Amino acid sequence: MRNAKIIGSGMYVPKKVIPNSYFNEILKEDVGTWLSENVQIHERRWCADDESTADLCVNAAKEILKDANVKAEDLDLIIISTDTPEYISPSTASVVQDRLGAVNSGTFDLNSACSGFVTALDVAAKYIQADTNYNTILVLGAYAMSKHLNKNDKKTVTLFADGASGVILKSDENGAGILASQLKTKGEYSSWMGIYGGGTFKPTTEESLNNGDHQLKFVKKFPKELNSKVWSTMVKDMCKSIGKIPTDIDHYFITQININSIKETLDILGVGMDKTTTIMHNYGYTGSACIPMAFYHAKKDNKIKEGDTVLFIGSGGGLAFAGAIFKL
């Protein structure tokens, strides 16, 4: 049976490093201590003024292609998951395809906020399983949220950061690839956090810009236990569907916005922190890029190997949740 094996990974973050001390200065209070002690974020990267989502994607894609030993012209499809696109239209993926010279590739963007990379990974795997025209697919998660931050909003400006990361999937018939996946959405939370200006509901006008509608806003505080409850339930469901239990998974890659939610989830599952990789410490929260960034670091640090079973699970505005189990 055709399946979709992960054959390469990579990442790119901007060169501009923003330490916690920066926010102490602009907010005129000590937020750095709280960030370090409670969410374990010490620094993050922000785009330069002349740097945008497509730039992040192109730089990450070059690293991924190199790691996979794949030429750009060999790509059949490019899927970019982002909720900070280069433009409302056309797609960021079409810009990246041109810059890479991926002349034989189709493209599209996918937006399910910070669960987007796992959603895109699931979609790409199904393309390969279902259609022999698709054998090599580049999947990217990209985030340039610094462009949408109110620098005086303590709830958002301290957490969010920029980066791009992803993988290449290749058709495989030797047992590697996707084993299970699941998508869930709790749309009742769709008005609780987001960027609510710039679309058809609130088109960009002078008034909307003055109101900050183009900036990320936390409208309401989410229930503390929501992520860990939904993630752990989804993990159990996916494991059960393939005859496994959570402790059978070799490594977990989980949304990196809150290390405490990761700990709580693994506690519920009876899994130790040694089975996960966290990268928010030096990169902040990079949305749909954070899970493949963690995967890249785990691979680089030899925490995972060919034949391992790994689980990706994320959540983001909407609220959208996505999970997938892969055999490497």
Residues 150 and 234 in one domain: no
Residues 155 and 221 in one domain: no
pLDDT band at 228 (very low <50, low <70, confident <90, very high): very high
Residues 163 and 209 in one domain: no
Higher pLDDT pick, 318 / 4:
4
Query: Which residues have CB under 8 Å from 100's CB, separation 6+?
Result: 58, 61, 62, 65, 72, 75, 78
Q: What is the CATH number of the domain that holds 113?
A: 3.40.47.10
Q: Which residues of 33-48 are buried (b: 16+ CB within 10 A; e: fewer)?
A: eebeeebebbbbbbbe
Q: What is the mean pLDDT of the chain?
A: 95
Please state, in angstroms and rounded to a whole number, the distance separating the CA atoms of residues 291 and 279.
9
Residues 88 and 139 in one domain: yes
Residue range 195-208, pLDDT digits in tens? 998 998 889 888 88
Residues 185 and 169 in one domain: no
Q: Tell whether the model's pLDDT for residue 223 goes beyond 90.
A: no
What are the CA-CA distances from residue 27 to residues 236, 255, 285 (Å)?
42, 27, 19
Residues 117 and 220 in one domain: no
Residues 142 and 215 in one domain: no
Residues 159 and 190 in one domain: no
Residues 161 and 208 in one domain: no
Task: Pick the range with the lowest mean pLDDT from 19-23, 181-185, 216-220, 245-249.
Answer: 216-220
Structural domain count of the chain? 2
Tell me the backbone φ, ψ of residue 49, rounded to 5 degrees.
-60, -35
Instruction: Give the end of a domain, one of 124, 156, 173.
Output: 173
pLDDT, mean of residues 30-37:
92
Instruction: Give the end of a domain, one of 152, 173, 194.
Output: 173
Residues 211 and 74 in one domain: no
Give this prediction's pTM. 0.95
Instruction: Give the end of a domain, one of 173, 208, 232.
Output: 173
Please state, in angstroms and rounded to a whole number, the distance separating the CA atoms of residues 160 and 47.
12
Residues 106 and 236 in one domain: no
pLDDT band at 36 (very low <50, low <70, confident <90, very high): very high
Residues 159 and 54 in one domain: yes
Range of the domain at 11: 3-173
